[in-house]
Structure 1
C-alpha cells in the first residue's frame, strides 16, 4: 500500500486538494453526485476507533417480523431472543457453562450466571430504557465477566472481580447500581460511588452512564477540581445525584470540606482496584471508607490484575466476598498478538520505530515510555520525521489532555506517546498496535499497557522492546505471554524468574536509560542548563516549609 495513503487514514481533505469539501466520515451523496464519498458504514476498520460498524450491526431490529414489531413497539424486546434465555435446570449446567466461558468463582452461595441479557432481564427487572440504550450502543451479547459479576452484585454480595482488559468490566459494575436505584426507591439519594485512579478513566465512566441512562431516571455527577456550586453545598437546595464518580484525592478534599455526604452510599466500586490499594492511594481509600457509614455498604473491586497482597487487604474491608476470575489470573486477553524484540542498546529502539513506519503499519498506535522527559524527547524525534504524532503526560492541562484523547479517538492522530497515565482503563476500541518503548516496571503495568489494544473481541498487536539491561526481568513478561496463549521461543521459556528483590527495585526505580534524542550534545547540554536554572528559580521562590 502506498505510504501516503496508509498514513493519511483519518485525515480530512480540503477543497484545495479535490475542489470540494470532503469529510472522510460524511455520508454518501446521491447517485447523481460526481464524488464517491466514504459512508459511515464504510469507514476503514483500522481507523474505526468508535466501533461504529459493530454498533450498527448490533442495533438491528428484533428478529420477529416487521409487522409484529410495529404492532408491539411498547412490549418488543430490544435484546435478541435466543434459546439460551431459559434458566439453568441444574448445577451441572451451571458448571459446564462456567467452564466453557473460562469463569472461575470462589465463595459461598455464589449466584448463577446468566447466558444472555434477555435472561438477565427475565431474572431481574430493569427499565425498558436500559434495553433500548444498551442495544443502541452495541451491548447485545454479555461478556463472561458481565454474565457472572452482575448477579453477584445484584444479590448484595461484596465482589472481587479480575478480568482481562477490554472485557466489559465497566458495564459489570454499572448494571447492579442501575438496578438498585430503580428497584429500591433511592431516587433522591446518593447511592453509588465509583472511584477511579485517573481523571480520564473517571470521565469515561461518567460518559458511559450518560449513554445508558436518561437523566430523569438516574443522575450522575463527575467530581472535578472545580469548586462545587453553592446550590450543591446548601443542604436545602442541594441537587441530588444517584451516582458520584471521582478520583481519590479530589473526593477526600471534598469530604474534608463537607462538599459531599457519603452516608447514604450503598454501593462502592473501586475501579482499577490494585492501583488504588497498592500504589499510594491507600490512605485516601481509608478516608473514603470511613466516610461511607451506611451499614448496608456493598464493596466491589475490579481490575485486570489483582495481586495476592491486594486481595488480602481487600478481604479486611469486605464482608464474605465472592471472587470471580475470567481466564487466567494476571494474563492478557488472547486476542492480542504479543512480541518481544531485542534492540541491543537504547539507540536501537528509535531505529526499530522508524523501520516500522517506513515498512508500513496500521495506525492508530500507542507508545509507552517510563517518564515525562523521555516522552517529550521521543515526540520531538518523530515530529522531526514528519509523523502525525502527539504526546500525553501529567504536565498537560485538562483541556490539552481532553483534546488529545478526542483527536486520537477520531483518527486524527496516527501515534500517541504516553507515560503510565494512559495505561489503565481508557477504552480505545480501534488501537491496532501498542509499543512498549521502555520495558514496563511491573507485570501489572505490562498487562494494562497492552490492554489498550485487542478490546471487545477485536484483534490487536503489542511489541515490547528490551535491551541488555532489561534481560533480568524478561521472564516475568514471558510468563504472561505463555498464560495468554502466545508462542514463545524455548530459550525464553528456560530463562530464570527475577528475584523478589529485583522486582521490588524495578518497581521503585526504573532503569536509567540513555536519552532517545538525537540532538547534538551541545544542544542537550544547553537544554539541561536551562532546565537547572528554572528548577533553581522555583526553589528560591517557593515559600519556606
Structure 2
C-alpha cells in the first residue's frame, strides 16, 4: 500500500473548501496558493482504537496481496527459465535426470573457475565446450555425484578433470585427494597426460602406478604424502590396499572417478564390485564424491549406482549406447574367413589412408594377421596382452608419431584410447556385442573429425548382426532392411557369445601342398601352441586331397 492509498482511506467522507488568500501588495507578482480546510462527516464516529485496527488490517491485506503477486511473478519467471533450459537441452540432445540440476553452459568463460584454468582448456584444443562438458562440468562444480554417458571422442576426460583441478586448488601434503580408475594401463597413461596438460601452473603431483614394488615404498605410511592425484587400474590399487599395513592411504580422497565403468563391471571383471567396495571403504572422507563416465552403460552399472549413490545426476548425450554420428559405417559380407584377407587387400589396392586400426578377437589372430600383412609391404604392427608393457608403449608411441600406418589390436585398445586423426577402423573379426562395436568404431571420428569404419562379417556372424545393424541405423548410416528383419536371438545365445568368442579358422594363405612340403622338411615338427592351430593341422590332410 503506497501513500496515495493511505491518504484515500484517511480522507474518506471528507469535503474540501478552497479559500483564496487576499493579496496585500499588488505590485509584486506572487503565486496564489490555496489552503484546504477539511471537515469530516461520518454517520457514526468510531473509537480511535477500532479505526486504527481496521486501517492496519487493510494495509496488511494489501501488502500480502502484493507479496503473493510478486511470488507468482517469480514462479512464472522460474517456469519460463526452466522451459528455455529444457528447450536448449532438447536441441543438444541432452537428457538429464536429477533434482535441481544446474543449467548447461555455452562458453568456457561462463564457468566459475579461474581464468588460467580456462586458458589451459583452450590451449588443449577445446575452443568451445562439447555437449557432455556443458552439463557435466556444471554438475561436478557443485560437488554433485554424476553418472555420465556420451559418445566416444566427446571430451569426457576433460569434463571430469577440470572440476577436480578446480576443487583441489593446489598441491597440499595430505596425500591423494583424487583417484581416477581406468580399465587398462594405456588408458591410465593417456588420462595422466591429459591431467598434466590441463593443470599447467598449478603444481599438482599426478602419479600413476607403473611398478607395484616402487609404489609400496613411495606411497607407504612413512612417505612424505607429497602427491595429489592418482591414476591407476583397480588391480594394482587393491593390491596396495591389501597390504598390512595398507601401502597407500585414501583417507583424504574428495573425488573418485570410474572411467569406462561398464567395462569394469563386465563379466570378465566380475571381481570389480568387490574391488570397488574395498576402495570405497578406504576413502573415509565425508566429502568424498563419485563420478562414473563411459560411452556405453549396462544395467549392472545403473543398478549399482541406484543402490550406492545418493543424490545422483544422470547425464546422457544422444541416444544411450549409440555410435558416433561422424563415422561413416559400413557392413561388408566376405563369405568366409578366407574372404576377409582378400577384402582387406582389396581396400589396400583401392587406396588406404593411414592411420588405420584393425580389430581382431584374440591375440593369436592378431599375430597371425601380422605375419600375413608384414610380407605385403604394409607398415604394420600388432599390440596385444602377450607383449610386454615396454613393447606396448613403444608400439603406441610409434603409431602416434606416424611410424606405423596400420595397427592390429584386440579389445585392449578399444576403450578410451585417443589416437588423433584415425581415418579408418576395420573390424576384421565381428564384435561379440553391440557395446564392443560402439567402442571399436569410436576410435575414429573423435573431437569432431570425420572417420570411416568397415566391419567384415561371414555367415557365422549372423547371431549378433541384427543388434549391430540397429546401432548403425541409429547413427544415421544406411543398413539393408533384411539385416533388421533377422530373427532376434535368445538371451542364452547372446550370453554364450559374450563369454566365449566363436571359433575361427587359422589366418594363413599358404597352400596346403606347400605346408605339406614344409612339414616334411621339419618346419612343423613343433606342437602348435593354440587350439586353432591344432585344428588347422587336423584339417591339413583333408585339404591336401583337393590339391
Which category describes the TM-score, using the shorter chain as reference length? 0.7 to 0.9
| Deviation sequence 1:471-504 (CA, Å, 0-9, x none) | 1220010111111111111222222232211110
Greater RCO structure (CA 8 Å; 6+ sep): 1
Q: 1:96 to 1:381 in 2, by over 3 A?
A: same
TM-score of the superposed pair, with normalisation by structure 2: 0.77
- 1:228, 1:259 within 8 Å by CA — same for their partners in 2? no
3-state SS in 1 of match to 2:508: coil
- 2:182, 2:258 within 8 Å by CA — same for their partners in 1? yes
Of 153, 160, 166, which residue of structure 2 is paired with 1:179? Answer: 166
Q: Does residue 465 of structure 1 match 2:456?
A: yes
Q: Does residue 412 of structure 1 match 2:400?
A: no
Q: Does residue 526 of structure 1 match 2:524?
A: yes
Q: Does residue 206 of structure 1 match 2:197?
A: no
Q: 1:187 to 1:236 in 2, by over 3 A?
A: closer
Residue 321 of structure 1 deviates from its aligned partner by 0.9
Inter-partner Cα distance in structure 2 for 1:496 and 1:427: 36
Name which of structure 1's ranges 366-375 and 221-230 shifts more when overlaid on structure 2. Answer: 221-230
Q: Does residue 260 of structure 1 match 2:248?
A: yes
3-state SS in 2 of match to 1:228: helix
Number of the residue aligned with 1:138 = 125
Q: Does residue 292 of structure 1 match 2:287?
A: no
Number of the residue aligned with 1:314 = 305
Name which of structure 1's ranges 361-370 and 194-203 shifts more when overlaid on structure 2. Answer: 361-370
- Within 5 A, what are the aligned runs for 1:112-511? 112-120=103-111, 124-126=112-114, 128-182=115-169, 188-214=174-200, 216-228=202-214, 232-233=218-219, 235=221, 237-257=223-243, 258-279=246-267, 280=269, 281-511=272-502
3-state SS in 2 of match to 1:331: coil
Number of the residue aligned with 1:94 = 85
User: Aligned pair count?
Assistant: 442
| Deviation sequence 1:13-62 (CA, Å, 0-9, x none) | xxxxxxxxxxxxxxxxxxxxxxxxxxxxxxxxxxxxxxxxxxxxxxxxxx
Residue 240 of structure 1 deviates from its aligned partner by 2.0
| Deviation sequence 1:219-273 (CA, Å, 0-9, x none) | 2111122423676345454242211111010101111222210111111100000
RMSD: 2.2
- 1:110, 1:322 within 8 Å by CA — same for their partners in 2? yes
Q: What stretches of structure 2 of length at least 5 have no aligned partner?
A: 1-78, 532-547
Inter-partner Cα distance in structure 2 for 1:373 and 1:237: 43
Residue 396 of structure 1 deviates from its aligned partner by 1.0
3-state SS in 1 of match to 2:420: coil
- 1:129, 1:213 within 8 Å by CA — same for their partners in 2? no
- 1:231, 1:238 within 8 Å by CA — same for their partners in 2? no
3-state SS in 2 of match to 1:502: helix
- 1:276, 1:285 within 8 Å by CA — same for their partners in 2? no
- 1:343, 1:466 within 8 Å by CA — same for their partners in 2? yes
Residue 110 of structure 1 deviates from its aligned partner by 1.2
3-state SS in 1 of match to 2:495: helix
Residue 382 of structure 1 deviates from its aligned partner by 0.3
- 2:414, 2:439 within 8 Å by CA — same for their partners in 1? yes
Greater C-alpha Rg: 2
3-state SS in 2 of match to 1:161: strand
Inter-partner Cα distance in structure 2 for 1:269 and 1:230: 22
Inter-partner Cα distance in structure 1 for 2:173 and 2:315: 30
Q: 1:266 to 1:528 in 2, by over 3 A?
A: farther
Residue 516 of structure 1 deviates from its aligned partner by 1.3
- 1:158, 1:318 within 8 Å by CA — same for their partners in 2? yes
- 1:476, 1:498 within 8 Å by CA — same for their partners in 2? no
- 2:174, 2:225 within 8 Å by CA — same for their partners in 1? no
- 2:209, 2:215 within 8 Å by CA — same for their partners in 1? no
Inter-partner Cα distance in structure 2 for 1:355 and 1:443: 26
- 1:187, 1:218 within 8 Å by CA — same for their partners in 2? no
Number of the residue aligned with 1:77 = none
- 1:161, 1:303 within 8 Å by CA — same for their partners in 2? yes
| Deviation sequence 1:353-401 (CA, Å, 0-9, x none) | 0111111121111000001110000000000111100000011111111
Inter-partner Cα distance in structure 1 for 2:143 and 2:349: 55
3-state SS in 1 of match to 2:486: coil
3-state SS in 2 of match to 1:472: coil
Q: 1:187 to 1:532 in 2, by over 3 A?
A: closer
Q: 1:231 to 1:377 in 2, by over 3 A?
A: closer
- 1:269, 1:300 within 8 Å by CA — same for their partners in 2? yes
Residue 215 of structure 1 deviates from its aligned partner by 6.5
Number of the residue aligned with 2:34 = none
Inter-partner Cα distance in structure 1 for 2:502 and 2:223: 54
